[in-house]
Amino acid sequence: MPAIMHQAIAEHAGILLIMAEQQATEGPITPRASDYAQWYQDIIAAAELVDQAPVRGCWILRPNGYGIWEAIQRDLDRRFRRLGVQNAYFPLLIPQSFITREAEHVEGFSPELAVVTHAGGDELEEPLVVRPTSETVIWATLRRWIRSHRDLPLLLNQWANVVRWEKRPRAFLRTTEFLWQEGHTAHATPEDARRFALTMLRTYEDFADQVLCLAPIVGEKPAHERFPGAVATFTLEPMMQDGRALQAGTSHDLGANFARAFDVTYQGEDGASHPVYATSWGVSTRTIGGVLMAHGDDRGAIFPPSVAPTQVAIVPVPGRDEASTRAVEAAAAEAQAQLTAAGHRVAVDNRPGLRPGAKFFHWERRGAPLRLEIGPRDVDANQAVAVTRHDGQKRRVPLSGLVPAVADLLGTVRTELSTRARAFREARTKAVEDRAELEAAVTEGYALARWCERKSCAEEIQAVTRATIRCYPFEWRDDRYLPLPDDPGPCAWCGEPATRRVIIGRAY
């Protein structure tokens, strides 16, 4: 719960309001500019997305928060199926010995493992780990499922929870337990695996851009930032409103590393035995944190229409007499019925004892992208006042043509959020040539800098600037990802020869 100790003075509608200290869910929101971390916590509380759990690092997802995840699931799941991916489910508990099979994998994950040593009243002969990811148990299984080239490609996904013991948890962004999907595929050739990993990256990029409106930078991680056990890791790096990066999804080309560790081979058309090539890819509840940090403002959360728990909030404005009030209520109910039938998530705010203004603020805090006000004057004119959350613009929409008008407005909101995020990121991404420019750039956003590709240099950059190499950025052209053209010159940090530019930024 946020510690709101100040009295916020907010200018609103031309008058100064002094807002008293209040309950977290109803209280003032710390301005983004004065304390970004506190602002983040405040808007989560205001939108009632999570509640505190009894275990540190864990959060309860309240209906609003979980609703966003459900919307993400629906959208991604459709995309996966379109690519021929099938859902399956593998167990939560994994024998500890599995984790140790792939050398880098162990090294990468052992510090974060939760281990079960006792069960059924006895000490276990072999401890079980709570999955931090499922490569090991899946590849132990695929050994039985893959015999012939005809079994490939094998495209699996699972919706699951995983546990990684985190030193410093933050709601959505870094939680001990989190929800995600993890895709795992098996291919006959390294080229097939690479191609699929990139197809998935493109799928994620489209989702992040069109659905979450995050306008991410897309690219490949440098070697030292790869997933433990991968030969290549591809990433989405949207920029948050404080200029920091959030890794919002990854797709890995695992080469034959896991197949080798779990001894998985297939018999080819040539009759010989061949290694199997793998990918894995995931998007987690962390992206919800990204949506909050990318779009929210000082009034609270702003959700892109397709993932908003409530897309349209209808606020009836009572009339002076009972008859007009009843007419307003009827019009609100009718509007809700029509919009719900059209597939929208709609709430009518019928709470008694609250004035319309209080309800306007309420739904703004909760991030509803569109508000419809219906009062006696609107009923007379057969219209509603539509207010878009992200820019506060008011429009009149006809009650007779409400469904197409709302669909149109929600589409406009989506486009504008996406455009706004892209413009923000582009304005705060600077090509830099030397240390001074790099240091300045990462305090505002991303630096596009030549880098010598040495880990030690990256570590020095991080030690001094707190920024990390986010990725080698890609461009989507002619239906495929292309790295930036080589651009030889001195490394922006150490001056040694470099051939490529990377995105450098501070990250969550």
Partner RNA sequence: CGGGGAGUAGCUCAGCCCGGUAGAGCACCACGUUUGGGACGUGGGGGUCGGAGGUUCAAGUCCUCUCUCCCCGACCA
Among 131, 187, 365, 500, binds RNA (CB under 7 A): 365
Among 20, 84, 269, 272, binds RNA (CB under 7 A): 20
What is the full DSSP assignment across 423-437? HHHHHTEEEE-SHHH
Interaction residues for RNA, span 463-492 (CB under 7 A): 466
- 378 scored as a contact of RNA (CB under 7 A): yes
**What is the C-alpha separation between 132 and 129, in angstroms, rounded?**
8
Contacts of 316 (CB under 8 A, 6+ apart): 328, 329, 331, 332, 348, 349, 350, 356, 374, 375
Among 243, 305, 376, 473, binds RNA (CB under 7 A): 376
**CB closer to RNA, 285 vs 412:** 285
- 317 scored as a contact of RNA (CB under 7 A): yes
Interaction residues for RNA, span 41-80 (CB under 7 A): 41, 52, 55-56
Q: Which residues of 335-374 are buried (b: 16+ CB within 10 A; e: fewer)?
A: bbeebeeeebbbbbbeeeeeeeeebbbbbbbbbbbbbbbb
**CB closer to RNA, 173 vs 441:** 173
Closest C-alpha to 342, from 409, 413, 404: 404
- 318 scored as a contact of RNA (CB under 7 A): yes
- State the nearest-atom distance from the C-beta of 384 to RNA, in Å: 7
**CB closer to RNA, 135 vs 378:** 378
- 248 scored as a contact of RNA (CB under 7 A): yes
* 3-state DSSP of 62-124: CHHHHHHHHHHHHHHHHHHHHCCCEECCCCCEEEHHHHCCCHHHHHHHHHHCEEEEEECCEEE
- 17 scored as a contact of RNA (CB under 7 A): yes
- Cβ–Cβ under 8 Å, residues 140 and 98: yes
- 23 scored as a contact of RNA (CB under 7 A): yes
**CB closer to RNA, 175 vs 266:** 175
- State the nearest-atom distance from the C-beta of 154 to RNA, in Å: 23
Among 11, 13, 273, 485, binds RNA (CB under 7 A): 13
Among 131, 286, 425, 501, binds RNA (CB under 7 A): 286
**CB closer to RNA, 220 vs 276:** 220
Among 142, 364, 366, 500, binds RNA (CB under 7 A): 364
Among 66, 159, 361, 424, binds RNA (CB under 7 A): 361
φ, ψ of residue 154 to 5 degrees: the values are -115, 115
> Could you tell me the two tokens for 386?
């539509």
**CB closer to RNA, 178 vs 303:** 178
Stretch near RNA under the rule CB under 7 A, chosen from 93-101, 105-113, 330-338, 400-408: 105-113
**What is the C-alpha separation between 235 and 469, in angstroms, rounded?**
12
- 272 scored as a contact of RNA (CB under 7 A): no
Helices (H), 282-401: 286-295, 322-341, 356-365, 376-381
Helix axis angle for 36-46 and 286-295, nearest 10°, is 110
**CB closer to RNA, 140 vs 397:** 397
Interaction residues for RNA, span 144-183 (CB under 7 A): 164, 166-170, 173-176, 178, 180
Interaction residues for RNA, span 333-352 (CB under 7 A): 352
- 19 scored as a contact of RNA (CB under 7 A): yes
What is the full DSSP assignment across 233-272? EEEEEPBPTTS-B----EEEEEETHHHHHTT-EEE-TTS-
- 249 scored as a contact of RNA (CB under 7 A): yes
